[in-house]
């Protein structure tokens, strides 16, 4: 099955919004093993929309559209598709009832225009009822051609695709493709690839693809099978083999992020932590606070940006700052010990570094960051050299500090 | 001039990357007054690429492509465009010299493949030399049709468009469109619109468009004129009128963000600040630290997540926490006063609230946030109710606290 992804909306042509739906649908179709040869964006213009849909059906079996299902006269996706298939639109009472209920629930007033949203093709049509908005989606299918019309807002598009369209398409496919992601921290993409190259080369189903995303190394394992259960059976032993080889470097599967992994580990182990941040400036604390319920583990954080704050909040010694400067192994050590001691936490983490763009020197260049970890009374310091702009250096330092905390908890076991 | 935006690359069809270039180019072309009717994505496939370029020229005068200029055999944008225009490719010595230099500078080894990147059409061609990568861009123009070929990575695409393509296109246009953005804080989109509705309705050139982006209210003023200077002359008085009407609510023009405005105001006024954060958990400090040179103004931050930290770091009284709880006007007041006093800063800011998803009650629901501001010894507390998920509530609280600090500095004058 060859597919085409089509977004309908003048706001995309003006650049007012970013077409994230295209990426979402592209990934989903790739996972289903459905080939996509083209993506198109067309405005809310009757002639051009018609040309685009008709032209797309010359080269594809399946078109997935987003947008153009709204209540205004401009919204014509459904009308144009019905024209292609030679169907007329009729009122769907169930869709209308749901639209009315949606307006009641959100306390807004339904207009006559919204009735248009409840019109659906009379035949060869599956209505996709919308739990997150007013416009129902539509699947039309006839003579080996299929169009799936989804609403434009991602909060409506994504659940409608996942819950209703995906199962529909899976049934049509002889094979399904299932992917699993392993997230790797503290090892670069090429170093990771080197370590598992023999495993990658030996595999055909599932395949293993290494790549880098937002500075993180990732392994994607993709299996082709007749159903999801069979695919997972193929993936499981390969995932285990990779995890065994990479050890602690694999920190999560799927979409879990580093702060979630660290927060859950802290809570499971009933460990408390406190953070003293200079160059990261509150970012480590802020990431941890993103996890609901972290209050049981995170006692406090100190953004000790000035030397004075390092001394009076954490007890860093004046002579340490004078002799070694604020960005030094010694200061990082005293900060980590100081925050653990003054907060009473099991673990103290500290960062001090030069995030740039100014303030670097030959001896201490921009990107130099010392991370201190005081773990139940034992303190160590790591020296790192991060590259990139100020925000990237701070993000890398935050990520690396959280990863070290994760590894320290694992090492203790 | 009718234009079409085209991205070339299989990685987009697989959803591995998001097509941010399309949005960037769409905005830039809209600002130039060039109409875009279609955006297309096509893979690295010779036949489909050729079909797509030839088809696009049936309906557009100008095609702007991104991607497909790399060194591999798959990269065929230039070859296909040359075929359309009936031109052959020849070696451009200057482009080759620059590619060699680029490899020298980045310490990598140039391969024979990279010579392909220095091949350019023999006639009707303008070479766009690339300061940020190896692939030069190309403009070809013949018989009223034009193609602009840009490299794929946004860090190469964006500067090449802005510095080389935009001036080229401006010369072709009879009119230019210039937009200026006013950023408005502390007023919702519809309230803002109400306050300036008469000004909006009275304007035809420039036009004024109110909209909301990431929870912020924005006014976009767009003038049509023969050049940028004339457009700015049209915009200036309208911008002044809007700023007069909206007063302190307008916090910046263009792409400046709130933390930059606040950081610059603090530094200009030689004011020092310290932050005590509970629900925002380091986010306010982290935002301020994003500004290089903030160390002269930001003395420190305390993420006093636990009651214990609120007491021992800030001197919040045990009886206050007991009687009014941690999320209360009284606690916010003592936190703001406490951080100002213990840090010696001119200004203390404090936040305490319920970011959710749990922890809310009828009396104190999720989204309730108290912000305290102690400004040179005078302390006030605001009660806010933010909506959204945990991260949104924290972001809104951070933004609102920074905006209050900005307004307090303005009020003092």
The DSSP result for B327-362, as a single string, is: SSHHHHHHHHHHHHHHHT-SEEEEEEE--SSSS--S
- Predicted local distance difference test score (pLDDT) of residue B380: 98
- B6-27: string of b/e by CB count within 10 Å (b at 16+)? bbbbbebbbbbbbbbbbbbbbe
Indicate the residue of B26, B289, B357 with minimum beta-carbon distance to A281: B289
Residue A173's pLDDT is 84
- In chain A, list all ranges with CATH 3.40.980.10: 2-172
- In the structure, what pLDDT confidence band is assigned to residue B110 with cuts at 50, 70 and 90? confident
- DSSP β-ladder status, A207-213 and A145-150: unpaired
What span, in angstroms and rounded, lies between the C-alpha atoms of A5 and B190? 34
| Cβ–Cβ gap B289/A295 under 8 Å | no
Strands B298-303 and A298-303: antiparallel
Which is more confident, B325 or B174? B325
Domain A258-411 bears CATH identifier 3.90.950.20 = yes
pLDDT in tens, A169-228: 988 888 888 889 999 998 887 788 889 999 999 989 999 988 777 768 889 999 999 888
Binned at pLDDT 50, 70 and 90, residue B103 comes out as confident
Could you tell me which residues come within 8 angstroms of residue A194 by beta carbon, excluding any fewer than 6 positions away? none
Which of the four pLDDT bands, split at 50, 70 and 90, describes residue B188?
confident
Q: Is the pLDDT of residue B347 over 80?
A: yes
Chain A interface mutation, best of B2, B7, B13, highest count of A Cβ atoms under 10 Å: B13
pTM value is 0.81
* Chain A CB contacts of B29 below 8 Å: 15
pLDDT score, position A32: 87
ipTM for the predicted complex: 0.79
pLDDT tops 90 at residue B148: yes
Contact A295 B305 (CB under 8 A): yes
| Residues forming CATH 3.30.70.2860 domain(s) in chain A | 176-253
Residues 6+ apart with CB under 8 A from B131: B159, B160
| CB-based contact B309 A14, cutoff 8 Å | no
Which residues of chain A are modeled with pLDDT < 50? none
Q: Is A377 helix (H, G, I), strand (E, B) or coil?
A: coil
Per CATH, the number for A2-172 is 3.40.980.10
Is the distance from CB of B248 to CB of B407 less than 8 angstroms? Answer: yes
Chain B residues in contact with A276 by the CB 8 A cut-off are none
Suggest the residue from B285, B339, B341, B356 to mutate for an interface test with chain A (most A CBs closer than 10 A). B285
pLDDT at res. B118: 94
For residues B144 and A243, what is the distance between their CA atoms, to the nearest angstrom?
58
Q: Do A300 and B302 touch (CB under 8 A)?
A: yes
Q: Looking at the partner chain, which of A13, A55, A277 has a beta carbon nearest the beta carbon of B39?
A: A13
Sign of CA dihedral A73, A74, A78, A81: positive
B125, B138 in Cβ contact below 8 A?
A: yes
Neighbours of A410 (CB within 10 A): 12
B209-265 pLDDT, tens per residue?
887 777 688 898 999 998 889 999 999 999 999 999 999 999 999 889 999 999 999
* Residue entry with tokens 């399946």: A62
Taking the alpha carbons of A215, A219, A225, A230 in that order, is the dihedral positive or negative?
Answer: negative
Contacts of A223 (CB under 8 A, 6+ apart): A177, A178, A179, A205, A206, A230, A231, A232, A234, A235
CATH class (in words) of the domain with range B176-253: alpha beta
SS3 B365: coil
Report whether B205 contacts B222 (CB < 8 A): no
CA B218 – CA B189 distance, rounded (Å):
7
- Confidence at residue A251, expressed as pLDDT on a 0 to 100 scale: 96
pLDDT on residue B76: 93
Write out the two tokens for A121.
């093709």
Instruction: Kindly list the distances between the CA atom of residue A50 and the CA atoms of A68, A141, A175, A295, B5, in Å, as whole numbers in the listed order.
Output: 12, 17, 33, 56, 19
Element (H, E) at A180: strand A176-184
Q: What angle do CA A379, A385, A389 make, to 5 degrees?
A: 125
| Ranges in chain A annotated CATH 3.90.950.20 | 258-411
Sheet holding B378-385, edge to edge: A378-385, A368-375, A347-353, A273-277, A298-303, B298-303, B273-277, B347-353, B368-375, B378-385
Mean confidence (pLDDT) of chain B: 93
**Is the Cβ pair B303, A301 closer than 8 Å?**
yes
Residue B87: is its pLDDT beyond 90?
yes
User: What are B18-34's pLDDT values in tens digits?
Assistant: 999 999 999 999 988 89
Q: Who among A12, A289, A303 is closest to B39 (CB)? A: A12
Residues B37-78 pLDDT 10s: 999 999 999 999 999 999 999 999 999 999 999 888 888 999
Cβ atoms of B277 and A282 closer than 8 Å: yes
Query: How do A35-42 and A2-8 pair as beta strands?
Result: parallel
Size of interface A-B (CB pairs under 8 A): 228
Report pLDDT digits (tens) over A250-304: 999 988 999 999 999 999 999 999 999 999 999 999 999 999 999 999 999 999 9
Provide the pLDDT for residue B28: 93
């Amino acid at each position: 099955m060859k597919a085409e992804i089509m977004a309908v909306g003048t706001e995309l042509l003006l650049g007012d919004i970013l077409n994230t739906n295209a990426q979402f649908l592209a990934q989903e179709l790739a996972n289903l093993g459905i080939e996509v040869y083209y993506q198109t964006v067309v405005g809310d213009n009757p002639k051009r929309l018609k040309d685009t849909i008709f032209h797309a059906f010359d080269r594809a079996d399946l078109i997935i559209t987003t947008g153009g299902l709204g209540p205004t006269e401009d919204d014509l996706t459904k009308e144009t598709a019905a024209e292609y298939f030679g169907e007329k639109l009729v009122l769907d009472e169930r869709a209308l009832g749901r639209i009315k209920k949606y307006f009641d629930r959100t306390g807004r007033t339904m207009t006559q225009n919204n009735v248009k949203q409840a019109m659906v093709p009379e035949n060869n049509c599956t209505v996709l009822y919308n739990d997150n908005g007013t416009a129902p989606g539509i699947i039309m299918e006839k003579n080996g051609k299929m169009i799936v019309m989804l609403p434009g807002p991602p909060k409506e598009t994504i659940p409608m695709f996942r819950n209703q369209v995906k199962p529909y398409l899976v049934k049509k496919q002889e094979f399904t493709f299932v992917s699993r992601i392993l997230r790797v921290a503290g090892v670069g993409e090429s170093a990771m690839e080197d370590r598992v190259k023999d495993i990658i080369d030996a595999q055909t189903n599932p395949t293993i693809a290494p790549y880098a995303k937002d500075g993180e190394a990732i392994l994607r394992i993709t299996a082709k099978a007749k159903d999801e259960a069979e695919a997972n059976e193929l993936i499981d032993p390969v995932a285990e083999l990779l995890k065994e080889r990479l050890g602690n470097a694999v920190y999560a599967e799927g979409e879990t992020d580093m702060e979630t992994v660290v927060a859950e580990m802290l809570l499971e182990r009933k460990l408390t932590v406190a953070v003293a941040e200079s160059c990261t400036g509150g970012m480590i604390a802020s990431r941890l606070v993103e996890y609901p319920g972290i209050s049981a583990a995170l006692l406090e954080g100190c953004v000790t940006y000035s030397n004075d704050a390092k001394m009076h909040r954490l007890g860093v010694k004046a002579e340490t700052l004078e002799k070694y400067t604020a960005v030094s192994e010694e200061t990082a050590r005293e900060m980590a010990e100081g925050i653990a001691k003054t907060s009473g936490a099991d673990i103290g983490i500290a960062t001090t570094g030069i995030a740039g763009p100014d303030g670097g020197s030959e001896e201490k260049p921009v990107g130099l960051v010392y991370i201190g970890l005081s773990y139940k009374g034992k303190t160590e310091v790591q020296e790192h050299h991060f590259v990139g702009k100020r925000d990237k250096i701070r993000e890398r330092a935050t990520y690396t500090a959280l990863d070290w905390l994760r590894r320290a908890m694992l090492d203790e076991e």
